[in-house]
Structure 1
Amino acid sequence: MRKLHQIIEQHWQHPNPVLSVLLRPLSRLFQTASAIRRDLYRAGRLKSEKLPVPVVVVGNIHAGGAGKTPVVSALVKGLQARGIKAGIVSRGYGRAGSGIYVLQPDSTAAEAGDEPLLLHRQTGVPVAVGSCRAEAGRALLAAHPDIKLIITDDGLQHYALQRDLEIVVFPAADAGRNNLDLLPNGGLREPLSRLKTADAVVLGGSTGAENAAHLHENIFHSRLQTGRIHRLNCQGEYLDTSRLKYLRVAAVAGIAKPERFFNTLRGSGIALAETRALPDHAVLSAADLPQADVVLITEKDAVKLSDGRWQNVWVLPVCAIIDPDLAAFVAGRLKI
């Protein structure tokens, strides 16, 4: 199954003519079904719930890997700087449970999901997870009634929750591509025209950004900035990268596009003796770590290993820098 998934993803980037013939009819069926479902919500035929505070959806039209979680973190921090107390709602993909769960200071990735736990630790704001975003939002407000705004991490296609603003994170590299298609022939959940109905588009990365003017009138640009590599579960202890040339260094990533992480490390001058790519949201244990003097992991993977000290495991932190000010845009639109 993993091999088939890799073949399909490769086809999305470099279309195979044979696969296109086979998969294009399925994409048209998917597009029709998605449009009908959205129209049913817009017409009131399917129930859509309104929460008592404004809701901002940060999502994507790609099937994962667009970089929305760093954007959510940056947006929440920007709102905090403006004195606006926000909360975060997420599905909590990859967690062990299935009910509504409001994160606590000692929550684990198994209870909350890796991305919600990461957001909770990065921002310090209240977070709730659940497949029903409206129910999760109600639980979050019941536990933290002083919240003035809810940000949903993903959920653009979750129309059961009404939203006041929609922000779509879109890869800049895809801005100029004309061969993008819907699932399964392509990696899109909705057609490119869906971008026009959102309130803003955040382009992730710089390559291709010059071709994005046609996508939306409110375009923001996001780039990832790396921080100092620190020891896992020890923020104050940093890695002396000048010593790495004498050591065996490996990297592990359980994210949607692990090569991005590996290339970032290589781009900073770190020679990797081994790389290990795990499925997105995969459970991470000691058995998954290579034998090496130094093992480098992502922040998303680090929250899965938060139970103790790991002497040879180090974490590369990243944050999104968004230009212009996305928090100012949101606050202005919502008048808060």
Structure 2
Amino acid sequence: MIERIWSGGSLWYLLLLPFSWLYGLVSNVIRLSYRCGFRKSWRAPVPIIIVGNLTAGGNGKTPMVIWLVEQLQQRGYRIGVVSRGYGGKSAVYPLVLGPQTTTQQAGDEPVLIYQRTGVPVAISPKRVEAVQALLQQHQLDGVITDDGLQHYALQRDFELVVIDGVRRFGNGWWLPAGPMRERVSRLNTVDACVANGGVAQVGEIAMKLQAQQAVNVMSGEQRPVLELTPVVAMAGIGHPPRFFAMLEKMGVKVDHEVAFADHQPYTQSQLTVLTQPGQTLLMTEKDAVKCRAFAQANWWYLPVDAVLPAEQAEQLLQKIEQQLNKVHK
């Protein structure tokens, strides 16, 4: 229902407009308070790169963060990542992730980034504290924040916004009548815009998600995804239809699709009932990090990589390198 309202396919958004105006007023006042110095923001001793979005829901930020980390590592930079840790509940904040950190503590996306890249990752609702915790334990050349475009308490050196290239900005209204955290005009002040899927518009960098081989959640075995038949597909991400559409485009025969809420925790009993004998349960990597402890032999996940056009990718990385090479005093 909410997707239909946000996409402009329903007039129910009119009932929510007063709440949207209040949301917009509060968010603008908060931003203005930092710009005018009424609230203090913190400047980190290393460059801060924001990977955020203007809309609620999954836009592809995490694959973009992983891509940036890997690209910058290849260029010799020591990079850390901070996140709010949405979906997790730690006994203490800030929390610097380790090999034993669970998704219940840190949330699924930080654990996924940590396991995929191996870089230092810290979480805290106050991202300033997460950055400080990382810098106390690691020598870093820069820090990437997964989300946090609207977290103005942390000063930033480079802002990158990921846009859902298919859904774009829906009806254009602030939450809850629409999907917007900030208005589209905010794009005029950021350093780069990346369009995930769809058709990139003028000034945007095209990005697509490219699937790797399927990986068995229990054993780690890799296998071409087309060999996994018959398949029950599940996704607990910001926009599950994106995962299902990708499988269809790849030619994967899917018997049934199951969509869960973003960041939803799972239990073994909850997932085992999704398949019948002989069927394969295929999930996203973000789902897999939450159920490795009780995985079954027929559970597989499909990792994806962000892919950007070579020339645009190089230009983007050079801009970020310029910031990383600056010395903060």
TM-score by length of 1: 0.89
5+ residue gaps, structure 2: none
Match of 2:125, SS?
coil
Q: Deviations over 1:42-74 (max 9, x none)?
A: 111112111111111100010121111100000
Equivalent residue, structure 1, for 2:296: 310
User: What residue identity is the alignment partner of 2:158?
Assistant: L
**1:110 offset after TM fit, Å?**
1.1
Q: Which residue pairs with 1:266 in the alignment?
A: 248
Q: Which of 199, 202, 211 is equivalent to 1:208?
A: 199
Within a 5 Å distance, the mapping from 1:175-254 to structure 2 comes to: 179-205=171-197, 207-209=198-200, 212-213=201-202, 217=203, 219-239=204-224, 241-242=226-227, 244=229, 247=230, 249-254=231-236
Show the counterpart of 2:322: 332
- 1:159 maps to what in 2? 152
Unaligned 5+ segments in structure 1 are 1-6
Q: Does 1:9 align with 2:11?
A: no
Offset of 1:208 from its aligned partner?
A: 3.3
Deviating 4+ runs (over 6 angstroms) = none
Which whole-Å CA distance do the structure 1 matches of 2:145 and 2:106 have between them?
Answer: 15
1:119 aligns with 2:101: no
Q: TM-score, normalised by structure 2?
A: 0.91
**Aligned partner letter, 2:317:** A
* Alignment match of 2:83 (pick from 61, 71, 90): 90
Q: In the alignment, is the contact (CA less than 8 A) between 1:231 and 1:239 conserved in 2?
A: no
Q: State the 1:181 CA deviation.
A: 1.6
RMSD (CA atoms): 1.8
Distance 1:10 1:280 in 2: 17
Aligned to 2:19: 26
Deviates further, 267-276 or 76-85: 267-276
| 2:91 matches 1:107 | no
**Using a 3 Å threshold, how does the CA distance of structure 1 residues 240 and 257 change in structure 2: closer, same or farther?**
closer
- In structure 2, relative to structure 1, the CA distance for the partners of 1:79 and 1:294 (3 Å cut) is same
SS at match of 1:273: strand
Q: Single out whichever of 41-50 and 146-155 deviates more from structure 2.
A: 41-50
Identity %: 41
- Indicate the SS of the match to 1:288: helix
* Cα separation, 1, equivalents of 2:70 and 2:26: 37
Q: Decide which of 279, 296, 313 is 2:282's aligned counterpart.
A: 296
- Alpha carbons of structure 1 residues 44 and 166: separation in structure 2 relative to 1, 3 Å: same
Q: Which amino acid aligns with 2:199?
A: G
SS at structure 2 position matched to 1:304: coil
| CA–CA distance in structure 1, aligned partners of residues 63 and 222 of structure 2 | 23
Quick check: 1:130 aligned with 2:124? Answer: yes
Q: Separation in 1 of the partners of 2:105 and 2:89?
A: 6
8 Å contact 2:47–2:157 — kept in the other structure?
Answer: yes
C-alpha spacing 1:185/1:291, structure 2 compared with 1 (3 Å): same
Equivalent position of 1:282 in the other structure: 264
Give me the whole-angstrom Cα distance separating, in 2, the residues matched to 1:40 and 1:12: 29
Relative distance call for 1:281 and 1:240 in structure 2 (3 A) is closer
Aligned 8 A contact 1:239 1:314 in 2:
no
What one-letter code is carried by the residue in structure 1 that aligns with 2:325? K
Q: Which amino acid aligns with 1:188?
A: M
Q: Which deviations, in whole Å up to 9, do the C-alpha atoms of 1:4-55 show, x marking residues without a partner? A: xxx22211113323x2332233322222221111000111111211111111
Q: CA deviation at 1:242?
A: 3.9
Cα distance in 2 for residues equivalent to 1:170 and 1:327: 18
Q: How far, CA to CA, are the matches of 2:256 and 2:228 in structure 1?
A: 17
Please state whether the residue corresponding to 1:234 is helix, strand or coil. Answer: coil
Count of equivalent residues: 317
Q: Distance in 2 between matches of 1:172 and 1:126?
A: 30
